Amino acid sequence: MTLKTSTLGYPRLGEHREWKFLIESYWAGNITQEELLDKTKELRLSFLKKQADAGLDLIPVGDFSLYDHILDLSLQFNIIPKRFKDRDITLDLYFDIARGNKDHVASAMKKWFNTNYHYIVPEFNNVKPQLTHNRLLDLYSEAKDIIGDKAKPVIVGPLTYVSLASGVDDFTATVKKLLPLYKQIFKEFTQAGANYIQVDEPIFVTDEGASLLEAAKCVYAYFAEEVPEAKLIFQTYFEGLISKELAELPVAAFGLDFVHGLEDNLKLIHEGYFKDKVVFAGVIDGRNVWASDLTATSSLITDIQDKVKEVILQPSCSLLHVPVTKQNETSLDPVLKNGLAFADEKLVELTILAQGTSHPLYAQHVADFEALQAADFRNVNLEDISSVKTERTAYSKRAKIQDDRFKLPTLPTTTIGSFPQSAEVRRTRLAWKRGDITDQDYENFIQAEIARWIKIQEDLDIDVLVHGEFERVDMVEFFGQKLAGFTTTQLGWVQSYGSRAVKPPIIFGDVKHIQPLTVKETVYAQSLTNRPVKGMLTGPITIVNWSFERTDISRGDLFNQIGLAIKDEIKLLEEAGIGIIQVDEAALREGLPLRKAKQQAYLDDAVVSFRLATSSVKDETQIHTHMCYSKFDEIIDTIRQLDADVISIETSRSHGDIIQSFETNNYPLGIGLGVYDIHSPRVPTTQEITTNILRPLQHLSAKQFWVNPDCGLKTRKEPETVAALEHLVAATKEVRAKLG
């Protein structure tokens, strides 16, 4: 019998990033709001039709957004930050909360669990939840006209939503305020004909979820009593269910991840906790691009079927985390390409698995999978790391040597690495890729941009300069283009935050350093100035976490392969006279397993690979690193063990809260304060930056601190970048004067 199929969510970007360009055109004032809404509606409906044409039985509605689905829910529930309260709920307010405006900072942005997707944090400070408008019902009604009763409404559940929010003084009371709003939404969905309603509660795969079990029982008992006709799917992903007690919730079905939560979830299945339940089984990896092993997955499905009431097949999570389709990839090795599955191909895999061996494509997919595993490039050759140095001279000693070498002022200023990639930079790169200009023409252009921005930085009186990374499309993709064992795609884009898309490289084989990666541009920049220029590299953990990684070796071995490759590049930079080298680990916290029991092994592997990369340098060489929006308190010991001379962190969007981790843990190394938010187009005032600098000086020594933006400036425009950096330097000089 053919099984039913479903998905949890579909990519918003479009095959050619149409979604991104529409939104950015609206921000730039090039299209009207009506045009934006009309064009994005066309995209949204085309996504629904594509999933229907693939043969899916249930198709998500409400996964589409104009920025972020959590922000959508916040506006629907009137969870508006206090500083924006006097305005009507409009599209412009929506974007202002996400991006900030000239008067107000944007809401905080955090990683969605352990992924590279960022959500806008709801702010519950002094707000009264109410249902402003059931936007999801509008989307459901729209979808029914296209796909009929296949439409499946999707909403983040109340317990996960409140868990992800800030300003929550009383968790239980806050959830209770939301329950009538969810009740109304569910009632309206069922009245409109919804067969199932997907309620995303991924908080219940985390350790935090274990403390919310009683709350879950109360919440879902409330829904069962108040809206008994609503067929709710209690949907989780990214890990196994945190407790067997959740299997007793009075819901119609459970969505479980049998890829990243296979061991725990399968154990619950085998122990009979779901014998009378409908299980939406996430058997296809929604977070990686490798085609499924249909033989093994079919066996898993049979195993699950025997022990539950009904199985409905789906990916392990939303397909938001993978590119749209591999059909546009014309340059990949055929064996590799045949072994890949992006979002559209995963829809096909679902239909194949649903029909089993009778499906006409089953045999070919099995053959393609086996050919990939047998390919020469999948051979594993692990280097012996026992002879590689992983310890440096004590920080207190080498810091004095570095102070003598660089003679920097108190609170030295710098940036994180990248400068605006203007339309001219993008046009010139595209012309070079197309062969319209020569390699020399392109190199001349890159050098001219480097020289121009070195002059801008000197004029701004920044202390430690960067070359600007104009030759790089992306901080990870760039390395994927130059290291052995990687390949890059043409249109493999994935949403990171808002309209920001990244194109993760694919790690398919052993990683090796086979050519200089960054030396030419960095050395050229250093030749133009007497101020130090930082070498800019991406660290092994971030490269893995922001790539589609191979899964046929352990993550620890993969980290080490890349650590050794970065070590070779650092040696070349050091030999070329570059004295400050930044090895970014922006995604270290992001990759932290969601369960504490699995975290230490990951963190230990992270420390080993970072030290493999960075510990062979001389004492006089200063190693920096950078980490993005994170909860640092739980990994502060690991950050210390990395032994980087300076770590740059965000302190602006979190309104200084993140620095508490370093204040309360007696952190002995250097800290770069990310004193303004680069994800917003607004230019911070000098006073705002001054406040962000002074806050940590109440508890920590000024000798520890550097001052910088909170992230790279690639996505910003030049005028706002220069203005913001002017304010950064002015604020720093003001604080220096106060310090005497």
Q: Which residues are annotated as a binding site for L-homocysteine?
A: 416-418, 469, 584
Burial pattern 149-187, b for ≥16 Cβ within 10 A else e, equals ebbbbbbbbbbbbbbbbbebeeeeebbbbbbebbbebbe
Mapping DSSP onto H, E and C, the string for 88-149 reads CCCHHHHHHHHHCCCCCCCCCEEECCCCCCEEECCECCCCCCCCCCCHHHHHHHHHHHHHHH
Residue stretches of the annotated binding site for 5-methyltetrahydropteroyltri-L-glutamate:
17-20, 111, 546, 590
Residue 58 burial by Cβ neighbours in a 10 Å radius (0-12, 13-18, 19+): buried
Angle at alpha carbon of residue 398, lines to 395 and 400, rounded to 5°:
110
Q: In the annotation, is 679 catalytic?
A: yes
Structure tokens at 322: 């993978």
Q: How far is CA 125 from CA 68, 128, 299, 353, 381, in A?
A: 20, 9, 50, 47, 54
Are the C-beta atoms of residues 106 and 653 closer than 8 Å to each other?
A: yes
First to last CA, the chain: 79
Spot the catalytic one: 321, 467, 679, 727: 679
**Residue corresponding to tokens 């970048």:** 721
Residue stretches of the annotated binding site for Zn(2+):
626, 628, 650, 711
CA 464 to centroid of chain Cα atoms: 28
**DSSP secondary structure code for residue 692 in this structure:** H
CA 264 to centroid of chain Cα atoms: 25
246: left (phi over 0), alpha (psi -120 to 50) or beta: alpha
Residue stretches of the annotated binding site:
17-20, 111, 416-418, 469, 546, 584, 590, 626, 628, 650, 711
- Report d(CA 242, CA 264) in Å as an integer: 8
- Report d(CA 200, CA 63) in Å as an integer: 11
Are the C-beta atoms of residues 722 and 680 closer than 8 Å to each other?
A: no
CA 503 to centroid of chain Cα atoms: 12
Are the C-beta atoms of residues 498 and 98 closer than 8 Å to each other?
A: yes
Query: Which residues are known to be catalytic?
Result: 679
